[in-house]
Amino acid sequence: MTAESTTSPREDRIPWAAMAGIIATVTVFAVAQGLTYPLLSFILERQGTIPGLIGLSAAMTPLGFIASASFIPSLARRVGGARLAIVCSILAAATLIAIAGTTQVWAWMPLRFLLGVFANPLYVISETWLISITPAPRRGRIMGLYSSIVSGGFAIGPLSLGLIGTQGWPPFMIGIVAFLLCGMILLAVVPRLPKMPHDGEATSVGGFFALAPLLLFAVFTAAAFEQILLSLFPVYGAALSSAEDRIAPLITCFIAGNAMMQILLGRAAERFGSTRAMLFCVVASLAGCLLLPLIFDLWLIWPLVFVWGGVSFGIYTISLIQLGERFTGQALIAGNAAFALAWGIGGIAGSPATGLAMQLIGHHGLSLSLGFLCCVLAVFLTTEGGRRH
């Protein structure tokens, strides 16, 4: 205890430069990712591409996340985390150049898949680095800050299209430069970055599912929740005769809550414990599902959507905190890769299933689907908490 207390001030000083570099890298990458999704959809829509094909094209990137997840731990061990992340940022830029060079939707399919393959290692490695160097007493606020800034980066991407438009090379150049800037930032902070963890028994992504199934279901729920609301909330609003110029700001409000509440939730996890904080986020998300039909036409919808965005994404933030609390070494990087896999599955599966529910039972299928996910997770969390107690 004495040795730890004498070294902790130094340890607290050393990680900050590395943390800033890691968070800056992922934020710039998030800007590029956030720009790519709407940009390519706008272009395909101008070409008269049918909505189903646009959706299939967009699904290629999370499919790349899923396909690459299982290879990341072994690749990081063999070539090094920093080297792998830098190479992936360069390859992502090259892939975006190839996408910009053609307008054929079928050519974009494999290219967008590759974009997901090259993007995924950067997220997995960066989150592993960040969890590894974050002092345990500050893990909640640091991971909350990380989630808030990355969410803000995703929001900046679409906003930039309003300034430069969606025509020609200029919007693509923002993404290309952002990808390359990731590699440059990493090169600048490489001396301060930790090596990928090699201690402990090697754990595969599949093996991690057996170690923490509830944690991965929480990630799945957070991903599905976000993708369902972002993709189908306009359909929900249209069913209630709500104008697009009201729905779009509501979605922006949801994203704002997503970005602005994570530090607060991280601090709550430090003070009250990550398990309680997780359960609060799930119950609050469920409450939002129940209240949505009741107050959709009232002014109360605005604070509801803001808080809804924060607590629903808070499920992922608290999951990252729990990952750092429960795992170290090679299990940590396997866990981050499994998180990416669970996020990709949730993002792909959630929207089609909810869309089918809305087709069968009407617009209430949105809140019922989201509420069902939250209920299942709440039951699992309560059962697991009772078992541990």
Give per-residue pLDDT as tens, 137-181. Answer: 788 888 888 888 888 887 777 777 777 777 878 888 888 888 888
Query: Using CA atoms, how far apart are residues 81 and 77, in angstroms rounded to an integer?
Result: 7
The answer to whether residue 389 scores a pLDDT higher than 60 is: no
Query: Using CA atoms, how far apart are residues 108 and 112, in angstroms rounded to an integer?
Result: 6
Query: Using CA atoms, how far apart are residues 26 and 28, in angstroms rounded to an integer?
Result: 5
Mean pLDDT of the chain: 83
Q: What is the pLDDT of residue 6?
A: 38
Please provide the DSSP assignment of 317-385 as one string: HHHHHHHHHH--THHHHHHHHHHHHHHHHHHHHHHHHHHHHHHHH-TTHHHHHHHHHHHHHHHHHHHHH
Q: What is the pLDDT of residue 375?
A: 94
What's at 205, amino acid-wise? V
* pLDDT tens digit sequence for 222-252: 998 988 887 777 778 878 777 666 777 887 7
Percent of the chain with pLDDT over 90: 22
Q: What is the pLDDT of residue 387?
A: 67
Residues in the chain: 389
What sign for the dihedral angle of Cα 263, 264, 266, 271?
positive
Q: What confidence tier does 8 reach under pLDDT thresholds 50, 70, 90?
A: very low
CB 23 within 8 A of CB 145: yes
* pLDDT tens digit sequence for 277-305: 999 999 999 999 999 888 888 889 899 99
Q: What is the pLDDT of residue 385?
A: 64
Q: For residue 260, how many other CB atoms are within 10 A of its CB?
A: 15
Q: How far apart are the first and last CA of the chain?
A: 27
The answer to whether residue 205 scores a pLDDT higher than 60 is: yes
Q: For residue 27, how many other CB atoms are within 10 A of its CB?
A: 21
Q: What is the pLDDT of residue 107?
A: 87
Q: What is the pLDDT of residue 289?
A: 92
Highest mean pLDDT among 28-37, 131-140, 211-220, 327-336: 211-220
Measuring CA to CA, how many Å separate 199 from each of 91, 217, 327, 328, 332?
29, 26, 11, 8, 10
CATH class of 197-389: mainly alpha
Name the nearest CA neighbour of 318 among 273, 375, 352, 383: 273
Query: Using CA atoms, how far apart are residues 343 and 65, in angstroms rounded to an integer?
Result: 9
Q: What is the pLDDT of residue 106?
A: 84
Highest mean pLDDT among 251-255, 337-341, 383-387: 337-341
Q: What confidence tier does 5 reach under pLDDT thresholds 50, 70, 90?
A: very low
As a whole number, mean pLDDT of residues 64-75 equals 87
- 82-86, 164-168, 195-199: lowest mean pLDDT where? 195-199
Query: Using CA atoms, how far apart are residues 76 and 58, in angstroms rounded to an integer?
Result: 27
CB 284 within 8 A of CB 162: no
- Count Cβ atoms within 10 A of the Cβ of residue 17 and give its class: 0-12 exposed, 13-18 middle, 19 or more buried: middle
CA dihedral 308, 59, 96, 160 (to 10 degrees): -30
Q: What is the pLDDT of residue 2?
A: 33
Rounded to 5°, angle at Cα 322 from 320 and 326: 120
Domain segments of the chain as ranges? 1-196, 197-389
Highest mean pLDDT among 25-29, 60-64, 87-91: 87-91
The answer to whether residue 310 scores a pLDDT higher than 80 is: yes
- 97-111, 153-167, 312-326, 371-385: lowest mean pLDDT where? 153-167
Contacts of 305 (CB under 8 A, 6+ apart): 250, 253, 254, 257
Q: Do domains 1-196 and 197-389 have the same CATH topology?
A: yes
Q: What is the pLDDT of residue 60?
A: 85
In CATH terms, 1-196 corresponds, of 1.20.1250.20, 2.40.128.720, 1.10.443.10, 1.10.10.10, to 1.20.1250.20
Q: What confidence tier does 53 reach under pLDDT thresholds 50, 70, 90?
A: confident
CB 39 within 8 A of CB 160: no
Query: Using CA atoms, how far apart are residues 354 and 348, in angstroms rounded to an integer?
Result: 11
Query: Using CA atoms, how far apart are residues 186 and 6, in angstroms rounded to an integer?
Result: 30
Q: What confidence tier does 199 reach under pLDDT thresholds 50, 70, 90?
A: low
pTM flag (> 0.75): yes
Q: What confidence tier does 10 reach under pLDDT thresholds 50, 70, 90?
A: very low
Query: Using CA atoms, how far apart are residues 354 and 231, in angstroms rounded to an integer?
Result: 10
As a whole number, mean pLDDT of residues 199-208 equals 73
The answer to whether residue 217 scores a pLDDT higher than 90 is: yes
Residue reference for tokens 């800007």: 31
Q: What is the pLDDT of residue 303?
A: 93
As a whole number, mean pLDDT of residues 244-262 equals 81
Query: Using CA atoms, how far apart are residues 319 and 216, in angstroms rounded to an integer?
Result: 8
The answer to whether residue 39 scores a pLDDT higher than 90 is: no
Q: Identify the residue with better confidence: 80 or 219.
A: 219
